[in-house]
Structures are given as C-alpha cells and as structure tokens.
Structure 1
C-alpha cells in the first residue's frame, strides 16, 4: 500500500527571522536561550501570540516555542516584542544554526554529573557568531547533557556533549550521531567542551556534505573515521561509558522529588499545543509561586523548580485547571499528533481531534504502547518509531505497527471504522510491541 496524501518536505525549520508559511499563516519559531524563559517572558510571548498571531502556540520537539497564524503585516510588530525580550538573533543564518538542547533540569538536579549551563551558553554564542558555521545543514543540532535523573540520552543530535565522571574527575564526552547510535569519539575537560564541539562541526563541513538533508547520521564509515582522525589530537580516550551516568525519574510529569530537599514540576501540553490564555494563566501562577525560570524540553513538557512540595502541588492544580497535563498516567502523554487540518495543507483530517478520541479509548483496552497520529508521511510530530502509527491517506488512515509515518502501511481504515472496532488494532499492536 502506498501513501496517497501529498506533502511537501521543506528541509528546514522555521525561525523568527525566517518564518514558514502554513495553512493557518506564518509559523514563527522562538528559540529561548538554552531552553529557558522567565514567567514574565512567557506572558509577553503569550500576549504577542494573541495580538499578532491566531493565539495558538506550539512546544516543539527541539525545545523551542512556535507562534502560529502570523501575517506579513503583523510580523514586524511580533519581531519587536521578541527583540525586546533579547530572543531575536542578528541574522537568520545565525539563528538557524543555534540549534541546541540542554538538560531541562540543569543546575536544579542535585544528582547531575555537571551543571552544563555555562558550556551551553558558550556553544550558543559561538554558533551564532561564527559565519563559517552557518553552512551547517539547517537541522544540524547539538545536545549538551549534564546527566542526572532527567537526561537527554534518548534524544538524537548530530553532536552530543555528555558529562561523565564523578567528584573531581569530571569530563565531557563527545559523540556523533551515527546510523547505529552514538559514536563516542572520546572526552575533554569541561572548559574546552564548547570549542571542541564547534571544531567537530567544522570537521563535518570539511567533508563538504551535499544536499539539504545531509546530516551526521548520513555519513559513511569513512566519513565518520575522517572526523575521528581530525579530532584525535583534541580528544582524550573515553574513561567512562556515558550510558553509566544516565539516571532516570520514574516520571516526567507531575511533582518531581529531586532529593536534597529540592522539587520541580513537569507540566505537559497535549500534543504540544498551548493557547495564549492557558500559557498566560500558567505563567502568572508560576510568578506567584516565585518560579524564576521555566525550562522547555523535547517532550513538550515545561519544567520549573519550586520551593516545596506544597508549592509544587498548588502549581500543578492551577495547571490542571487550565487544561495542562499533570498526571503521569495520562494517555495523552503516549500520543504524538501533528496540527492536522486546517492548520496544515498536507492533510484534510482532524488529526488532533482524532488523537484525543483515540486517547479516550486506551484505558478501556489496556494499550500501553506509544502512538503517532500523522496527517501525512512526513511525520512532523515524531520522526522516531512508535508502536502504532496512523498516517493520513486522503480521508483514511494508513496503519503502521512498530514503525514511523514514512513506512508503508499494512492496511487502512477511516477513523469511524477504527473507533467501531478498536480491539483489533490495539491488541495486534500491543502484541507486536512486547
């Protein structure tokens, strides 16, 4: 069975200075500095989204924020607001290459190996200020991970920095995103980690990769070996496997007890969509709870440190009252869904409406796997595999099990047909995911 729904692969991500046209107007992506915003900045962005867009805001898989429905006429006024907040880059090229994610609990989690915020700030400045790096592919990305309970170990990036070690013997491992997983080159002292990451990107550019989609993972074994050779004099042997420094929280959403009398909250947005009034009310409650920073994450979850469990639960109650996800068992957390029609021109299906209806069925059938509902085979909401994928085929859904939206469906059905007999699809998908 072939994909029938047409879609356009742009090959780049929108920015503030280079917005992308969609079915509901321009998409303007705001890249917070190292994934952090204050509650007051969130309120200002929410108000701007209401005044200059259509009031819809998306939290992205790259820990950014997108304002939708902007017009050519309102874009300059939106730029003025973003600029006043210090979030507007001097060039679109520098903005596009400033593509990095950091541990959302950096500096908060007492079990982290290293507070990597200084490394991330230095790397962000270098990426935006060195024109030679602007030749990197538009989706070329970096991860800076300090370890601890809530890490980015399962997220992909072309160049990965991961803190390793303990006590006085702390280093930063340097890894490349290869087809088989992370190819660890070695480690460096924290003081030069940002510079070495930039040198690694230069080594990639020396290979003169061609094509807008060319990424580190697309290099041949010879290409990876060339980068390894170029960096050999700068990198020490890896003394500790970075995977051994990865901790985990039992959950990402709700009240997070971090130890040493420190607490944080994780607040999810269904499918990453936030409305302006929701965000403004949440940010106002955060300010009242004396939250200083709000951290974005690739899981479309907002994190904030709170002074006590009591304050955290009060903030979670307020978030729940305006439609955010605060229950770690909420089935919506296991479903990824793109905006769908009419916001996207690549589908005629009500993707998020169908995803919500699907979530309501999950508890009854005991399905515990991951689900991706995509309007087309491009799979914007989730590039990785899911246990069950529904992908738009005109007015029907193609069904893919243990795969991605771009894979060939094994069968298709309308949503009404799926809802009428969900046991068949859930039971089959569950057996395959085990």
Structure 2
C-alpha cells in the first residue's frame, strides 16, 4: 500500500503526518458514530500500532499518534478491514464533513441529515475534479438541533431551516450568508460551490479556503458562479460560541451524556472504557467538535455518569480546563517550543476567571495556533525563550509582550483576573516595567 509521509500536512490514514512522537494517522469517520465494537477496535489500533494516544480533533476526527513506519502497513490493513480506509489518498484528504453529532436522535432538529452526509461523502469520494481542494477545505451540515455547529469555521456550511412549504438549507460561505437550496440538492449544490471556488481562484493555489477568495471578490460572486438563489445583501457572521454539551441531556426517547475530553486527548484505555459503557447501556458513541464525546442510549443511569467522572472524563461545563485550549506541544509536535498541555493544565484554575464563557485562554506551543485558530481573550505563543502574549487576538498576531516564563505568566494572569479586559494591555506593560522584564 503506497504511503506519502509529510510534515505540516493534514494527515489521513493513507497520508499520515510526521510529528515529534511519530506518525499521526487521522480517521475520518462519516457522521461521527461509533459502535462499541468499532470504538474498541480503534482503541486496540492505537495501542497495538501507535503509542496509545488518541486526539479528538476540532473536526470530530480521531487521530492515532505515535505510529511508526514499521507499524503503519499493519495498521492500514486493520483499518481497511474495519472499513475505515479510503482507496485514494486524494479523496481521503477532502472528505472533510463536519455534521451535527446527534442527528437522527435529536427531536429538536429541523430534519435528519444522515442521508445528506452519506450522499455528500460519496460525491467527494468520486468526483475527482474536487480532489484539487485543499485538505483544510471544510463542509459543514447543521441539522438545526439543540447544539448549533461552529459554521463560521466552515468553507461551505448548510444550516437546516424550517420554511413554508418545505424545509431547506441556508448556505453560508466562510460564515457569510450566500443563499439557500432544497434539502435533496445539498450534495449537488456543495459540488457546484466547490467547482466555482476552484474556477474563480484559477491557478492561484495560495487561495486555499473560501475566506481567502471572498476577501478578494466577495461572497456574492461565488454564489452567482454556482447558480445559487436567494442571496441576501447582508453578510452576517455566524455565532461560534460553543454550546453547553457536557452532562446528561434528555432528547426525546434518548438520553445523551456529554463527556468532556481534556484538551481533546485520550488514551486507548479511555476509549475502551467509553466503548464498554456504551455497550452496557446498549448504546453508541458520537464524536463532536467540542472536545467531547456523546454517549447515546435509551436510558443512562446517573451512576454511570459518576463512573465516567471517576475515569477522568469531564461532566461539568464550568470545569476550569474547559475554558482553555492547548495543542499537543513539545515533544509530541515537531514545531512545538513549549510543553503547552502541561502549562495549560497549570494555568487552568486562572483561565475560567478571565472570561465568563467559551475559551478564555489559548496556550499554543508555536505561532500556528492549531488548537484554537480564532482569537481568544488571552493567547500565549510558545518560543524557545518562553511565551509571547497577545490579547483578544490569535497566535499568529503581533505579540504585546515577549519572552515570559511561566511564573511571570501566572502572576500576570492573576492580575488580569481582577482587571477589565479593556485595561489589560496597559496593566501588562506596567507590570513588565515594574518587574523589570
């Protein structure tokens, strides 16, 4: 089986990415649903062919870490037997569909998008003209249910809406309203939009995402090229506040238990524990983009939630660690200059006090900002000399302060806790002058 190894690439199972702890193999699981047997099989793959660590990505994919060149062929053979391996690495690279994880069981959803996910996935596999899309290009389908999806991060998003006389999808391009389509036209419309994007960008492959193109020619130009109808003039950003997903939720005939994964990182034993729990209640697991996995069943006894908490899963949305984002960091990442997850865990008690909700603190081991590509109230960027700091911006933005060690960072964040956000920049400069940093 042919293999292409790359650094800094969006990994797949056929085209893994080399990192500091070995190869990263990403599994794109259509719809994000895992039976107990499949979850146990993936856990065994992580243990037998990697270092036992698994990342749940912001696109609801599972990434097996620490795979070696020696173990990769056997892993690929096992994934093929499980139905998790694509035939073509180019098709695999663009099968990026993020969809509502509770589709089919959420009674508040506008419609069941399961068939739409399958048809779009098949279109991406088979339409070779679309294989020119960037591996970062993201399609999103939101069923309109109780947990709104982060549509602003998607290149092409379909949001289910209840209309008269029929349901339809509102279409957004990089978070901007662009038109609508009938429910049964989702796959065809997605393909037309993607083809229009490729045509309009021409030979300029530096334009990799829809946002790159809309910044140059606007949203309407792409919508018109794809033949979209109903294009509002107002271009509104979608809300990207993460919903409160942790804990128990009663959804019609189902009970859903949202289990937080610290920094999106779990090990093979933790996934095996989840599989056993799902089997105990005759349920299944659903992957989400919110650093959480849903346990879905007809009934879930409260005692099970307690056992999952004891096993290391987070059930409280107010837990400090939920307010902080951190990448793999050093030594797992080749680019990482700092041990970002260890430092983030150390800073977590302060993080929740920095903002009332959402990600308050982003600790990135380098300027790429993989764990949280959007601005955060406070962002730390790892350097060989310590951390640079930015406020209300992202990891790639110009630092306000440079070269802070962890004790200094802690003291500064303690001051931020009692300071209004608008005054933090002034306070930070004063602090550094007084501390002679």
Q: Confirm or deny a common fold (TM above 0.5).
A: yes
In the TM superposition, what are the counterparts of 1:80-119 in structure 2 within 5 Å?
A: 80-119=77-116
Could you tell me how far apart the structure 1 residues matched to 2:161 and 2:235 are?
A: 6
Task: Work out whether residues 16 and 25 of structure 2, in 8 Å CA contact, stay in contact via their aligned partners in 1.
Answer: yes
In the TM superposition, what are the counterparts of 1:4-403 in structure 2 within 5 Å?
A: 12-166=9-163, 169-177=166-174, 181-184=175-178, 186-207=179-200, 208=202, 210-212=204-206, 214-219=208-213, 220-222=215-217, 224-232=219-227, 235-237=228-230, 251-258=244-251, 260-292=252-284, 294-308=285-299, 311=300, 313-362=302-351, 368=356, 370-403=360-393
Give 3-state SS (helix, strand or coil) of 2:101's partner: coil
Shift of 1:222: 3.0
Shift of 1:421: 5.1
Deviations 1:94-115 (A, max 9, x none): 0001011001111111011111
Give 3-state SS (helix, strand or coil) of 1:57's partner: strand
Could you tell me how far apart the structure 2 residues matched to 1:336 and 1:318 are?
A: 25
Give 3-state SS (helix, strand or coil) of 1:169's partner: coil
Shift of 1:238: 6.3
Could you tell me how far apart the structure 2 residues matched to 1:422 and 1:227 are?
A: 44
Task: Work out whether residues 162 and 242 of structure 1, in 8 Å CA contact, stay in contact via their aligned partners in 2.
Answer: no
Aligned CA distance change for structure 1 residues 35 and 94 (closer, same or farther; 3 Å): same
Deviations 1:270-314 (A, max 9, x none): 00000111111121111111113x221111211132223xx1533
Q: TM-score, normalised by structure 2?
A: 0.88
Q: Could you say which structure has the greater relative contact order, defined with CA pairs below 8 angstroms and 6 or more residues apart?
A: 1
Q: TM-score, normalised by structure 1?
A: 0.88
Aligned CA distance change for structure 1 residues 247 and 409 (closer, same or farther; 3 Å): closer
Could you tell me how far apart the structure 2 residues matched to 1:263 and 1:248 are?
A: 24
Residue 398 (structure 2) aligned to one of 385, 394, 408: 408
Q: Would you identify which runs of 4 or more consecutive aligned residues in structure 1 move more than 6 Å?
A: 245-250
Give 3-state SS (helix, strand or coil) of 1:304's partner: strand
- Please give the root-mean-square deviation of Cα atoms over the aligned residues, in Å: 2.7
Give 3-state SS (helix, strand or coil) of 1:255's partner: strand
Task: Work out whether residues 11 and 212 of structure 1, in 8 Å CA contact, stay in contact via their aligned partners in 2.
Answer: no
Could you tell me how far apart the structure 2 residues matched to 1:269 and 1:165 are?
A: 33
